Homo-oligomer: A and B are copies of this chain.
Amino acid sequence: MSPKAPIRVAITGAAGNIGYSLLWRIASGNCFGADQPIILQLLEIPQGMDRLQGVVMELVDSAFPLVHDIVATDDAKVAFDGVNQAFLVGSRPRGPGMDRSDLVAANGPIFVGQGQALNAVAADDVRIIVVGNPCNTNALIAQRNAPDIPAERFTAMTRLDHNRAIGQLALKGGATPADVEGVIVWGNHSNTMYPDVSKATVKGASVVDTFDADWLASEFHNTVATRGGAIIKARGASSAASAANAALDHMRDWWTGTNGKPVSMAVPSKGWYDIPEGLMYSVPTICHADGTLEVITDWELDDAAKAKVKASADELLKEKAAVADLV
């Protein structure tokens, strides 16, 4: 068999902490497979370029057989030129006194520019995950500024919440993560996200039937929703390797398919579950091996679940309103 042609993989915020974790996972073949050569196209802000050069040096020093070339740039049109897979990781962090609307507004121009650049120069088959927060609305902004790219190629990451929910169920159930199935996170990647265990199982047993209902309603939900802050407190730094891992899981599943099983991905709503059309909203999504994403549209939601799904959609509508001129 002749070797595969390299694919072009862009990572923004490549010298940041999530980027630093993500790059080695991608370069080792852990996302696109051990037989898939790649060209890494790394974007940083001008002030990050020295640090990025150091990261590139370390990538060279890793002698990855799959890495055919490395591009390091502060120009989005160079980073996205011909790109097949794009990880939009970089974003402006929340500063002192900023509320969520301020954060959304501060990130708007970045994702306008990146959407336009993707629209101009990305490959026809480009697939995009937005990791940089507020990721759902950042993804919406980028998507709206890339009219020539099919909307469903833009996604945002709720896989970290999804994985956190699996991790907590495995711990509580004395099981391994491989024993946990059927968890779905709905909504915005924020504390309004809804970790839905209604169809989840641990070692084949229904979570709803076998776990303590109070624990599920309170501690489980709170642990997943506030995990980011707890990590910062313990580690002295925000989640990086686990965030990178979630981005990898998301893109790997999209690349290889999920064998008919749903995972949590924020995708442009088509109005399912009364989620306003166009919002980037996390729903149960099956990845097919041909790269298409199939949203499960008949998932049963009880009234309490419907209220949570609506609350997260309402939050996303507010975020959208804060950047109305950009979308």
Contact = CB atoms under 8 A, between A and B. Distances in A.
Interface of A: 15, 20-21, 23-25, 28, 30, 37, 50-51, 53-55, 57-68, 160, 163-164, 166-168, 170-171, 176-178, 180, 227, 230-231, 233-237, 239-242, 244-246
Nearest to A165: B63
B61 A167 contact: yes
B167 A239 contact: no
Contact of A231 (B25, B57, B239, B244): B57
Contacts of A242: 58-59, 61-62
Counted per complex, copies of this chain come to: 2
Contact of A234 (B54, B178, B234): B54
Query: Could you tell me the dominant secondary structure of chain A's interface residues?
Result: helix
6 contacts: A20-B21, A24-B25, A54-B233, A60-B170, A62-B241, A63-B177
Contacts of A166: 63
Given A28-B25, A176-B67, A239 B55 contact: no
Contacts of A241: 20-21, 23-24, 58, 62
A239 B37 CA distance: 24
A65 to B, nearest CB: 4
